[in-house]
């Protein structure tokens, strides 16, 4: 009897242990459950219930605890991929040159460049006087400044006209509220002057003591005030020069290429206005170049006594370039340098004494047009590839015949050239290191087009390792952005090699909402046409699958910020097309955010998304807003990221979205949230650390393919 009792007890204990372990296993594999607290929101006679609204309470300990639990859950669930994550991180790190430097450019007698030291995360800003054989002078070593900070970003710096004082702007949180500091470059000592809560821009007047900077609104973070600071004085003594009262507009300050003028631009999504003073008269009042008008955008650059203006005035949707003077600013005096062309979109331009270089976009590709201002001849730089990106680089000098430009493609690492516009000679200065085993000939890139239901041809840039078969057995990662008129060009991404080398096809869908095909392409993907962005992406996915590049079981979608809105909308509309979706800092709670004027960027973006206080925009937003459109259905696996200090997309948008997706998802596919507790919209700083999250994302994708 005792023996029987002994074995019975033993069996019961064993069962209990098994049950406990089983429960622990279930508990470990169960995601955090966000509590529900109904928030009723009513407008236009319509009511929405948001059960996760409470996650907006940043100072609430329960919110932080929940975000940490989500991070812990993700870490445990993907713990078996740690070695894979490390392998991918090592691969990407190997493509970063241990000791590297940028191509020097000349400005005001000095050659400026950035260099990196082995195993160091941050840049060292340097210069040399007169020629590159002179002794190096270190302006600022960000590695030293960043010690003790999990996040440290130096966004900009400006050297005084006499070359003796450095102003630089830093953010140590990730909120994009920059602090301006000053350093004496002769003595190496820091000034006591510290200016808080700026956008990071700073411009010197000619007197070497007066600087102009932009203040941000404490709550909305809108750049709304221009201030003047005198070196050696307290910030409390600074003078407010101009305040932008229209909350749809934001300010920026810059200098003309000649350094003779300080320019203040006030801009919204569809309008702009520029003011100016002479740099040697910092106490003058700013004069308006052209008074603002709705739907008129323009930018200016000086050229001797003349002005070149990039403008869409008079219905020139794709912009034109005109020449005039400050004294003859009315349109009747304008001389057209490049007339409006409905098939060519002008993005920007660079002036030299004898030349003007124009950045044009046509048929989805960028071209650099060089115009000789003396003999009026013009021609385009030859790019030599089917799919590429080209841009105007650092060109601080005015009286020179040499253009510095950058070039890249899906198979060509970022390269920098000096091009002699007089002799047409081209010199390759540097091609960025992409790994000791990298050969561009191992990869193939092309541009193809998918056809939308309305007949529009949507360009797709693709790259893959040579030798793949179009048998629908290739993993596919398709990426897009599609907002603000921002174009995603086919540039080199060294991290993507880790996917290409594992058989992936990488595709960029140039959907409406960008400006790849001109201003109309943008307008057809905003406001009451926003859904074109999402359906274009779906069309591109279906096209690539029909062409044999992949199939739904092997296809991933990726987008970030407004591109996360895209992937969020697509996840509701066609979840069946993807095995996995990656949404990085996604803008998904569209209506709630756009109704809250205290949130950064809200009022300034009514021209992009619409104002939901108007019923027609409210109804349209509601029809696609990813958070509002979550429903009972099978969602693919999803990895969603956030930044606790994000000022662009508040962390609670992805956090709320994940909680709601989990509630409604009827599939067994995992849905993960990763919140960076030490960073903002752009993730971690540091040339290596920034790829930790990339390695996590790639491991998540590869794990799903097992």
Give the model confidence (pLDDT) of 75-126 as tens digits: 999 999 999 999 999 999 999 999 999 999 999 999 999 999 998 999 999 9
Residue 15 pLDDT: 31
**How much is the pTM?**
0.91
**How distant, in Å, are the alpha carbons of 170, 226, 235, 400, 494 from that of 238?**
20, 10, 5, 38, 45
- Average pLDDT on 611-624 reads 97
Q: CA 63 from chain center: how many Å?
A: 27
Q: Which residues are catalytic?
A: 561, 646, 681
Report d(CA 196, CA 454) in Å as an integer. Answer: 50
Please tell me the predicted confidence (pLDDT) of residue 386. 81
- The token pair at 683 is 């993730």
User: For residue 170, what pLDDT band results from cuts at 50, 70 and 90?
Assistant: very high
CA 206 to chain centre: 33
Residue 25 has pLDDT above 80, yes or no: no
- What's the rounded mean pLDDT across residues 392-410? 95
Instruction: Give the pLDDT of residue 19.
Output: 31
Check residue 18 and give its pLDDT. 30
In this prediction, residue 209 carries a pLDDT of 97
The share of the chain scoring above pLDDT 70, in percent, equals 96
In terms of Cα–Cα distance, which of 258, 223, 260, 259 is closest to 242? 223
pLDDT in tens, 34-44: 999 999 999 99
**Could you tell me the maximum CA-CA distance found in the chain, to the nearest angstrom?**
113
Do residues 155 and 170 touch, judged by C-beta distance below 8 A? Answer: yes
Identify the three-state secondary structure at position 591.
helix
Q: What angle do CA 609, 615, 616 make, to 5 degrees?
A: 60
Query: How high is the pLDDT of residue 20?
Result: 31
- Position 91 scores a pLDDT of 96
**Residue 476 pLDDT > 70, yes or no?**
yes
Report the pLDDT value the prediction gives residue 61, as an integer from 0 to 100.
Answer: 93
Q: Is the pLDDT of residue 2 over 70?
A: no
How large is the average pLDDT for residues 383-402? 92
> What is the per-residue pLDDT for 202?
95
pLDDT digits over 224-263, tens only? Answer: 999 999 999 999 999 999 999 998 999 999 999 999 999 9
**pLDDT over 90, % of the chain:** 86
Position 173 confidence tier, pLDDT thresholds 50, 70, 90: confident
Residue 681, pLDDT above cutoff 80? no
Q: Is 295 left (phi over 0), alpha (psi -120 to 50) or beta?
A: left
- Per-residue pLDDT, averaged over 500-515, amounts to 97
The pLDDT tens digits of the residues spanning 291-314 come to 999 999 999 999 999 999 999 999
CA distances from 362 to 345, 509, 517, 605, 642 (A): 6, 16, 6, 27, 35
Per the CB < 8 A criterion, the answer to whether 215 and 252 are in contact is no
Point out the least confidently predicted range of 11-25, 41-55, 418-432, 652-666.
Answer: 11-25
Would you say residue 24 has pLDDT above 80?
A: no
Residue-by-residue DSSP string for 292-312: --TT--EEEEEETTEEEEEE-
**Unique residue bearing structure tokens 């300034």:** 604
Residue ranges and CATH numbers for the domains of the chain are: 61-93+444-590+635-704 (3.40.50.1820), 98-141 (no CATH), 591-624 (no CATH)
Mean pLDDT (the chain, rounded): 92
End-to-end CA distance of the chain: 52
């Amino acid at each position: 009897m005792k023996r029987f009792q002994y074995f019975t007890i033993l069996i019961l204990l064993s069962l209990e242990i098994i049950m406990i372990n089983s429960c622990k296993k279930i508990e470990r594999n169960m995601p955090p459950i966000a509590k529900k607290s109904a928030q009723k929101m009513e407008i236009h006679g319509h009511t929405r219930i948001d059960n996760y609204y409470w996650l907006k309470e940043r100072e609430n300990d329960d919110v932080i605890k929940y975000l940490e639990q989500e991070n812990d859950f993700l870490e445990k669930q993907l713990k078996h991929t740690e070695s894979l994550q490390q392998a991918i991180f090592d691969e990407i790190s190997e493509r970063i040159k241990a000791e590297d430097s940028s191509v020097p450019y000349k400005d005001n007698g000095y050659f400026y460049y950035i260099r990196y030291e082995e195993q160091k995360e941050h840049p060292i800003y340097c210069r040399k006087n007169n020629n590159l054989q002179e002794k190096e002078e270190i302006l600022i070593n960000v590695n030293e400044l960043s010690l003790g900070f999990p996040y440290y970003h130096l966004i900009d710096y400006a050297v005084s006209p006499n070359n003796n004082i450095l102003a630089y702007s830093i953010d140590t949180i990730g909120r994009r509220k920059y602090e301006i500091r000053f350093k004496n470059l002769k003595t190496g000592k820091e000034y006591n002057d510290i200016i808080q809560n700026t956008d990071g821009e700073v411009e010197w007047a000619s007197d070497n003591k007066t600087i102009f900077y932009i203040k941000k609104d404490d709550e909305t973070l809108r750049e709304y005030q221009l201030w003047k600071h005198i070196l050696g004085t307290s910030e409390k003594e600074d003078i407010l020069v101009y305040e932008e009262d229209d909350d749809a507009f934001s300010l920026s300050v810059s200098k003309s290429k000649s350094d003779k003028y300080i320019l203040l631009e006030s801009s919204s999504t569809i309008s702009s206005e520029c003011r100016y003073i002479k740099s040697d008269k910092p106490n003058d009042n700013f004069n308006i170049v052209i008074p603002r008008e709705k739907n008129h955008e323009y930018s200016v650059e000086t050229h001797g006594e003349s002005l070149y203006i990039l403008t869409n005035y008079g219905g020139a949707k794709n912009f034109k370039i005109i020449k005039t003077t400050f004294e003859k600013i009315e349109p009747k005096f304008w001389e057209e340098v490049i007339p409006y062309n409905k098939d060519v979109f002008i993005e920007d331009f660079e002036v030299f004494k004898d030349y003007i270089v124009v950045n044009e976009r046509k048929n989805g590709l960028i071209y650099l047009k060089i115009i000789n201002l003396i003999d009026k001849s013009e021609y385009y730089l030859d790019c030599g590839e089917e799919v590429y990106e080209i841009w105007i680089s650092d060109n601080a000098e005015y009286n020179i015949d040499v253009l510095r430009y950058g070039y890249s493609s899906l198979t060509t690492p970022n390269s920098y050239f000096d091009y002699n516009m007089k002799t047409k000679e081209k010199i390759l200065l540097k091609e960025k290191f992409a790994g000791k085993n990298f050969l561009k000939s191992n990869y193939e890139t092309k541009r193809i087009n998918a056809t939308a239901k309305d007949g529009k041809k949507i360009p797709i840039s693709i790259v893959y390792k040579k030798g793949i078969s179009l048998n629908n057995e290739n993993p596919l990662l398709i990426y897009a952005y599609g907002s603000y008129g921002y174009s995603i060009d086919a540039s080199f991404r060294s991290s993507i090699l880790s996917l290409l080398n594992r058989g992936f096809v990488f595709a960029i869908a140039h959907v409406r909402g960008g400006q790849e095909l001109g201003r109309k392409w943008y307008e057809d993907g905003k406001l009451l046409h926003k859904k074109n962005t999402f359906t274009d992406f779906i069309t591109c996915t279906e096209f690539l699958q029909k062409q044999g590049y992949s199939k739904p079981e092997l296809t991933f979608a990726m987008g970030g910020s407004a591109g996360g809105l895209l992937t969020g909308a697509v996840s509701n509309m066609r979840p069946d097309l993807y095995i996995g979706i990656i949404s990085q800092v996604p803008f998904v709670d569209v209506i709630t955010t756009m109704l809250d004027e205290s949130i950064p960027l809200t009022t300034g973006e009514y021209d992009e998304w619409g104002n939901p206080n108007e019923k027609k925009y409210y109804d349209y937003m509601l029809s696609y807003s990813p958070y509002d459109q979550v429903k009972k259905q099978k969602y693919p696996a999803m990895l969603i990221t956030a930044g606790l200090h994000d000022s662009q997309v508040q962390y609670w948008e992805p956090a709320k979205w994940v909680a709601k997706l989990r509630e409604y998802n009827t599939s067994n596919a995992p849905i993960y949230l990763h919140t960076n507790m030490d960073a903002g919209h752009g993730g971690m700083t540091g040339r290596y650390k920034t790829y930790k999250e990339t390695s996590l994302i790639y491991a998540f994708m590869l794990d799903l393919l097992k």
